[in-house]
Every structure is written in C-alpha cells, then in structure tokens.
Structure 1
Amino acid sequence: MTRVGVIGGGQLAWMMAKEAPAQGIILSVQTPSKDDSAVSLAQEVVWAPVDSVEGTEKLAQKCDVITFENEFVDLEGLQVLAKKGVCFRPSLQSLAPLLDKYEQRCFLASLGLPVPQFKNFEKIEDLESFGFPVVLKVRRHGYDGQGTIIVKSPDELDSALKVLGDVPFLIEEFIPFECELAVIAARGVDGTVTNYPVVETYQKNQVCRWTIAPANITIAQVEEVKAIAHKLLSALDYVGVMGIELFLTQDGRILVNETAPRTHNSGHYTLDGCRTSQFALQLRTVTGQAIGDLSFCKQGAVMVNLLGLDFPNPNYEERLTRIASIEDTFVHWYEKSESRPGRKMGHVTVLTNDHTVPKARAIAQHIEAIWYS
C-alpha cells in the first residue's frame, strides 16, 4: 500500500483520510493539536506544528509522498528535505509562486491570465490610483475572510491600516462582480490536466456560505475558466488538486481572484455529488494513479457550510437532525472540539435532478434558515 503524509490535520485532511482506504492508501498527518479532525482517522500522527521542518522530516520517514492541506509551511526549510529526496506533491517549486498572494498575483499576470488591478503596499500614496472601495489583503496566511478588508471610503482607511498593522499586504481594485465562481482542477504525474464543473459560490464577510454546482454560465465562459486552469497548472508543472476562485464581472469578463494549492471548500460537494471526490482525486494524483470518473452522480449539487453559531449553547444536534431529513442530503460534521462564531464546523450537500439556479438557491436558503434560526 502507498503511504501518504499530509501536512495539517484539519477537516481537509480528515476528508482525505476518509477516502484513503478505498484508494489503497495509508495516511498519516502532521499536526500539533490532538483536537484536529483528522487525528481520529490517521494511521499515524506526527505531533508538530505544520511549519516544523523537523516534524515533516519525521513524517517523511513514515511516508512515500507528502502533500498539504494548508499553506502555512516553511517552504525554505522544506527545500532541505527535498534535496535529501523527500517527495512533495505538489512540488515545492510549484508552490513557491503561490503562497505569497502578491507574488501569486504577479505570477498569474506574467502568464497573461486576467486578474484585478493590484499593487504591493509600500506607502500611503500607493492607494491613490485605486479610489474607493478598495481591497486590502495580507500577503501570507489569510483565509476565510481573515486578512482581507474592503475599505469603502477614506474615513475607513486609518482603522483598516491599524488592523493590518505591520503585516505586508497588497492593494486590489474592488470588483463589482455579477457572481463569484470557482473550479477544482487537478494535474497528474503524467501531465494530464482535468477539472470538475465550474461552480458558483456565495460569500458573506469573505467566508463561503454555499456552492451551487454547476454554475449557470455560458459555454464560452466555462471554456475560458477551463483554459485558465489548464494553463496555470501546466505552467507550474503542478501535481495534485488546486482550487481556483474567480469573479464573473457585470460585463461578462472572467477574472482570477486567487488560488489554493490543495483541496478547497468550493469542491466539498464532490464528496457526495461526484463519482470521484476532490479528496480521492488528490490522493490519486499525488500517488500517480489514474484520475478516475469526475462526473456528477445526479444533475447537480448544492453545498452549504455549517458555521459556528454566535449564541451560547447552540443545539447543533437538533439542527443536524432536521437538515439530515431533507431528501438526498448528506451531512458532514467535522467533530471539532471548540465551536466559534463563523468557524467551519461541517457542511451539508444536497443532490438535485431538477437543477436550476432559483431551486438551488432555495435549497441553500432553506438549510441556512434551519441552521441560523
């Protein structure tokens, strides 16, 4: 059996660990926390922070290949292990242009891919060419809305800069989009690139609330997203799964927002909605297996994130039971020991045969009404 190590032990690693036995894979994780979701399913656990090179060296002794569930790694330190023969997929060279969001923007632009106007922040005058609203985004370690601030007026700028402090960040033009899109793409060891259908995502406070698969866009727009994904993964010589977030502008243009070099929240619907999930696909690509069948099980799917509730002693079990009673519904609860407002505690996927955008949105809103009531 092939042994795969995952740097990180959260819900993404947990969902990979669930898929591993069917792929003939033994999965181990590197995490400092006994409360992480994947700890209960991993074959072995290396108890170390995800940016600990010493921890990854121990993980490598138990594994044939190492992959990632987050970007909080010491890339320079890991290069030492790579030179010793440790196999990382995606490779460290593939990750290098992506982990810093300003460098990622520069790399995307260098490939000729469409991106919003952007600039590294060095002095207050750098903001002058953008106007308001404007987006300020930390260059490293921002996720789920953390580290992204939309500044709507000059009056809000001082407080935004104080929140960011001395952390390096970039400036981006605000895009008044028609909707937000995403696609999960993957590239195998043999260079074959594939992708799931393009999906529509709905964000609130920069946190994904739900996903509709497939998105209601034109064939030409689907082909443009596919071409972006194929060009990016090939240019990186990438092996593994990548999430790509995009904007559809009000005049029909596609812009790349940002990428995640791993499995991604926008692809959670594939666990139940597709014949091969993104987590199985990640394991298959990094171990050199055939990609598999990525087709839908039904005509489409709706995925809704279940976020931590902002009031004391929420009765999660009652809500989960009510949601699970909906036809063709699959509930995934991450068994996290601590609930915080806005934290991703689980997700639910509903499969649909009557797939229209109004119906899909009605399903998402019905689940949210149960969850947040």
Structure 2
Amino acid sequence: MSIKLGIIGGGQLAWMMSDAAKKLGVELIIQTPSQNDPAVSIAKDVILSVVNDHYATEVLAKKCDVITFENEFVNLPALSLLEKQNVCFRPSLSALSPLLDKYEQRCYLQSLGLPVPNFFDFIEQENIADKITQLGLPVVIKTRRHGYDGQGTFIISELAQLASTINHNQSRFLVEKFVPFTKELAIIAARSVTGEIVTYPVVETRQKDQVCRTVIAPADISKTQNEEIVAIAHKLLNSLQFIGVLGIELFLTNDGKILINEIAPRTHNSGHFSIEACATSQFEQHLRTVCGLELGKTELNCASAVMVNLLGYETSFDSYQKQRQELAKIPQSTIHWYGKTESRPSRKLGHITVLLSENNQQQIEGIIQQIESIWYP
C-alpha cells in the first residue's frame, strides 16, 4: 500500500520529488495556488489554494497520511488546530516554530550556543541610527518573514540609505552586522523518525544580488571547518527533534571562523547537486525521512560537482530552447527545467549540474564560465 504524502507548496522543490516518489511508491498530493505551478504536473491530486490557507490544508489532511512543507510561508497557529486533531506534520510544527521568523531563528541559534553574526531586532524607528552605529556599518537588514532569493534583504553601507529602505518596506526587520567572508557555505542534513542523522558534503555557494547562482561540491575547506559544520547540523536537528531535510547556510570569515547565516527547514537550492552526484538525492532523502523509511547514502559518486542556477534575466515567455540545447552538449551534464511559463529577472527557471572526474579548481571555474556564457546574453 503506497504512502499518501501531502505537500504544502507546489514549486520546483515539490516538483523535484517526483522521481523519488515513484521509486519509493509515494503518492504526492499538492496544495498550491496556481494550476501553472511546477508540481501540479506530477501530483496525484491537487488542492488549488494559497499555502497559508488552513481550510485547504484541512482538505489536504483528509486525503493523505502525512503532510510536509515545500516552503516556509505557512500559518503555524492555524495549522496547530489541525495538529491537535492528530494531523501528522513532518517536520512538526514545534520544530518549525523557532525557524520561520528570522529574528526568532537567530535568537534560537544563539540560545544553543551556535555561532551567529551580531544582530538585533528593529521594530521602532527610534534609536535605530544609534543601534546601527554601535553595531558598525555596513549592516544587513532582512525582513523577518517571507524573504527569499534576495527579496527583503538590504545591505546598508551608510545611514542615509536607512530611511528609504525602512519606509518602502512596511515590515519588521532583523538587523545584523555585515560579515566580511571569504566563502559562503551550506550543508544539507536529514533526521529520521528514529533520530538517525545523515549529512551531505559541505558545499560552496556563490550569490549575485543575494540570489544563489552557483554551488560547488565539495567545498574547499579544512577538515576542522568541515567537522564543525557537521556538528552544527547534528546539534540543531537534535535540539529541534526535526524530521525531514534541512538546509543550513553559513559564512566562512576572513579569520577562518564559521558563522550561521540562515536555516531553511526544507529541501534547499544548495542541495540540488545531490540528484546526480549522490546515491540518494536530497528529495528522496526528504521523502524517506517524513515517510518513516530508512535513510539513504549521501556520499559523492564523483570527484566534484557543479550546479548552476538558470536564472531569468528578462521578462518574457521564452522557453530558451536554443540555450538549453547548447548546455546539454556539455559532457556529464543534466538540465532540470522547471516548466515555469514566465521568465523575469532573478527567477529560478531551472538548473544544470555537471559531474567532474577530478576536483580541479581551474576546471570547475571553466565549467561555470562556459555555462554562464551560453545562458546569459
């Protein structure tokens, strides 16, 4: 008998669970707002509704055994009423609760003794300039909820920029000290219903305008730094009693220290390389964890892998067939095209992963340059 899994959210992260679902005999039932969302095409059943509509989630719950999440844009207080009626959410709502608000997430990490940048909460405008001066410019200002792919994140290098940023964005903010880093890193980790934990190789991520552009696996870091990041993942997953896959974004500072940037309580862009580069993709791993199955292996099956996001650079309805055909000629490459009907600047339209037989930095940089010269005009 197959497991019926409900997913709140129908974007590309849910869409990429399709192959694993077929392999494991899991039926996917999706709650998503638009018939055009990527995961609609692979779902056994679809409830068309916004992701924070708990009435729609109540309908979803009647159709499935377990409910999981593709994104963080959910209404936890409303969902808690369903949890009290024995609806099974994995990860649990209590595991999600400290993570959805960026300020509360940062406080939670700090309470566990995990390394984070200096920060404070900004609610009232009074004394904000004094607080920022004490912290030291530049600072990063982030909306506490619903920011992703650079949305709701602002780097402030002088106080004159502050008023326009705050006034144009009627939100509560997290303010943090800008971290001068040598690398941005990430790790995907998973925890099962029995408390078993597995981690994927630490990767280097490269952003442009706060949107992830490239992921390199494995990251070129020391053994000690790698062990520290794995230990962070274990401590966090166990503290939360988390069931599922979780992504942790980190900074490597100029003096070699590790700081946590953000936690994503779901599958994550930094783990897409795992579809081709590991025996068990992050998407299969997530299904295994939330469905109570045995966890899969996470080691690389190649010397290194490069994942490049294919980001929109214009507003159009083009399917970019010509560029995709050129990209497909790159040896050991696989393209994932998300089937979105509209392109707009910085929108993730797809990604390409290239497997390499050696871990050679020059070759890696060459592959990245080749992909981007084909993709971007």
Sort the TM-score into its range (normalised by shorter chain): over 0.9
Q: Which amino acid aligns with 2:369?
A: Q
Answering whether residue 285 of structure 2 is matched by residue 281 of structure 1, we say yes
SS at match of 2:280: coil
Name the counterpart of 2:305. 301
SS at match of 2:184: strand
Name the counterpart of 1:213. 217
SS at match of 1:129: helix
Q: Which amino acid aligns with 2:259?
A: L
Q: Output the TM-score relative to the length of structure 2.
A: 0.97
**Percent of paired sites with the same residue:** 55
Shift of 1:34: 0.3
Answering whether residue 150 of structure 2 is matched by residue 179 of structure 1, we say no
Do 2:215 and 2:307's aligned partners in 1 also have CA atoms closer than 8 Å?
yes
Shift of 1:312: 5.5
Do 1:188 and 1:285's aligned partners in 2 also have CA atoms closer than 8 Å?
yes
CA gap of 1:321–1:93, structure 2 versus 1, over 3 A, is: same
Shift of 1:194: 1.1
Do 2:318 and 2:343's aligned partners in 1 also have CA atoms closer than 8 Å?
no
Do 1:328 and 1:350's aligned partners in 2 also have CA atoms closer than 8 Å?
yes
Answering whether residue 26 of structure 2 is matched by residue 62 of structure 1, we say no
Of the candidates 336, 349, 356, which is equivalent to residue 352 of structure 1? 356
Do 2:118 and 2:176's aligned partners in 1 also have CA atoms closer than 8 Å?
yes
The gaps in structure 1 that reach 5 residues or longer are none
Of the candidates 164, 168, 174, which is equivalent to residue 172 of structure 2? 168
Segments of 4+ moved more than 4 angstroms = 311-315
Equivalent residues, number: 372
CA distance in 1, matches of 2:231, 2:165: 36
CA distance in 2, matches of 1:250, 1:305: 27
Name the counterpart of 2:314. 310
Q: Which amino acid aligns with 2:80?
A: Q
Do 1:20 and 1:280's aligned partners in 2 also have CA atoms closer than 8 Å?
yes
Q: Which amino acid aligns with 2:181?
A: F
Shift of 1:297: 2.0
Do 2:8 and 2:51's aligned partners in 1 also have CA atoms closer than 8 Å?
yes
Do 1:307 and 1:346's aligned partners in 2 also have CA atoms closer than 8 Å?
yes
CA distance in 1, matches of 2:212, 2:89: 29
Q: Which amino acid aligns with 1:321?
A: Q
Name the counterpart of 2:236. 232
Q: Which amino acid aligns with 1:55?
A: A
Q: Which amino acid aligns with 1:220?
A: T
Do 1:216 and 1:357's aligned partners in 2 also have CA atoms closer than 8 Å?
no
Q: Output the TM-score relative to the length of structure 1.
A: 0.98
Name the counterpart of 2:20. 19
Shift of 1:356: 2.2
Do 1:18 and 1:41's aligned partners in 2 also have CA atoms closer than 8 Å?
no
Name the counterpart of 1:36. 37
Question: What are the residue-to-residue correspondences of 1:261-280 with 2, within 5 Å?
Answer: 261-280=265-284
Of the candidates 368, 372, 375, which is equivalent to residue 368 of structure 1? 372
CA distance in 2, matches of 1:366, 1:43: 38
CA distance in 1, matches of 2:310, 2:358: 24
SS at match of 1:338: coil
Encode CA deviations 1:120-166: one digit per residue, 9 max, x unaligned. 013323323122111000000000000000011123222222232x2
Do 2:6 and 2:29's aligned partners in 1 also have CA atoms closer than 8 Å?
yes
CA distance in 2, matches of 1:19, 1:357: 31
Name the counterpart of 2:3. 2
Name the counterpart of 2:133. 128
CA distance in 1, matches of 2:317, 2:71: 30
CA distance in 2, matches of 1:269, 1:372: 21
CA distance in 1, matches of 2:31, 2:146: 18
Of the candidates 175, 189, 204, which is equivalent to residue 200 of structure 1? 204
CA gap of 1:193–1:319, structure 2 versus 1, over 3 A, is: same
SS at match of 1:296: coil
SS at match of 1:50: coil
CA distance in 2, matches of 1:92, 1:357: 42
Do 1:306 and 1:371's aligned partners in 2 also have CA atoms closer than 8 Å?
yes
CA gap of 1:188–1:356, structure 2 versus 1, over 3 A, is: same
CA distance in 1, matches of 2:247, 2:346: 21
